[in-house]
Chains A and B, each alone.
Chain A
Amino acid sequence: MVAVKNHHHGCMNPKAHMQKEVSLEKAMASRVIAWPLKLYDCSLITDGASCLILTKPELAKTYTDSPVHIIGSGQASDTIGLYERDVYTTLNVGRLAAAEAYSMAGVSPADIDTAEVHDCFTIAEIVAYEDLGFCKPGAGGQFIEEGQSHIGGEVAVCTSGGLKAKGHPVGATGTAQAYEIYLQLTGQAGKRQVADAEVGLTHNVGGLGATGVVNVYKRD
């Protein structure tokens, strides 16, 4: 269902690598890559580039009439080896970085209108719902089943199409997430625009969850 959603979002993003709808039946019937993950659970291998201009709030207006503010930032690290971790149904870095970012921003998960998360595999997006506090631990599957992460749901997740459909040009993925949030918070996201998006979030993870960064953004 995450793949179906993110492919659908990708179709509305002219810069997405994969602008093709996929049905739940087709995704479920695709070949196994690493059980239980199938072809449509895996993100893409993509070439791409992205960039951001970061500056002081006082200078932002000299570059653009519609800047977006980073109001919270969190970073965390963990062991590289999965076997050194206590649980496999959460990424510690996601939870810790989110707590730090929410605290700095003075917002709660319920305040987030749209988020770009590290959906390298579909399960990673479901784990991210839980780690970011969009739902309770264990309720991530239900969250997508209820359409809460769709545009129009509780929090629109991966409106760009995510790593799944927008693509995963590894070095560019993080800033590309921030770019999507910038578009959303400045009302430039076209067909995939989240109505009245005010607060956005990016969640990026590297090294099998050995490192994680969460940023919270607010429109001007």
Chain B
Amino acid sequence: MDEIRPFTIESFYSFVTEKKLMGAKCNNCGRTSLPPRPMCTACRSTDLAWQELPKQGTLLTYTVIHVAPDRFSDSTPYAVGIVEMKENARLPGAIRSIDPKDLKIGMQLTVAFDQEMVVEKWPQWPRYYFKP
């Protein structure tokens, strides 16, 4: 069934609901799009396949937000980073369960998933985040 889900952000989050991190692997050039795109951003091929990615990755860069949008203002300061899950497959997201002062570029982080559905206008999906 997985093969027929369209290569969209919505499908990506439907996999997140199943605690899976899924990217779109290009059958033409081999690049993995994460989150998936309907077309390979490297070679523009639409010949894609779902690929489950490892949940462990390397922190490439991060910031610590002190002035946040209203809905996140209760959580400041909080860290947001970009994590490389495998070559060319990078994912942005919040980093929790660690004091932002202890973050270091190059450290290993693991993807975790919210238990509960975030009830908001958008997105109506559980969110993923990173933790040490």
Which residues of A does B touch, CB under 8 Å?
A: 31-37, 79, 81-84, 88
**Taking chain A's interface residues, is the majority helix, strand, or loop, or is none over half, making it mixed?**
mixed
**Taking chain B's interface residues, is the majority helix, strand, or loop, or is none over half, making it mixed?**
strand
Whether B126 sits at the interface, judged by CB under 8 Å, is no
Whether B28 sits at the interface, judged by CB under 8 Å, is no
Which among A32, A35, A83, A88 has the highest number of chain B CB atoms within 10 Å?
A83
Q: Are B65 and A34 in contact (CB under 8 A)?
A: yes
Q: Are B82 and A83 in contact (CB under 8 A)?
A: yes
Which residues of B does A touch, CB under 8 Å?
A: 34, 41, 60-61, 63-67, 77, 82, 90-92, 100
Roughly how many angstroms separate A35 CA and B77 CA in the complex, as a whole number? 9
| Contacting residues, chain B, for A32 (C-beta < 8 A) | 64, 66, 77
Q: Are B63 and A34 in contact (CB under 8 A)?
A: yes
Q: A35-B77, A35-B100, A79-B41 are in contact. Are A84 and B63 (CB under 8 A)?
A: no
A-B residue pairs, 8 tightest by C-beta: A35-B64, A83-B90, A32-B66, A83-B92, A83-B82, A33-B67, A34-B63, A88-B61
Roughly how many angstroms separate A82 CA and B66 CA in the complex, as a whole number? 20
CB distance from B100 to the nearest CB of A (A): 7
Roughly how many angstroms separate A83 CA and B67 CA in the complex, as a whole number? 22
Q: Are B92 and A81 in contact (CB under 8 A)?
A: yes
Q: Are B41 and A84 in contact (CB under 8 A)?
A: yes
| Contacting residues, chain A, for B41 (C-beta < 8 A) | 79, 84
* Residue of chain A at shortest CB distance from B80: A34
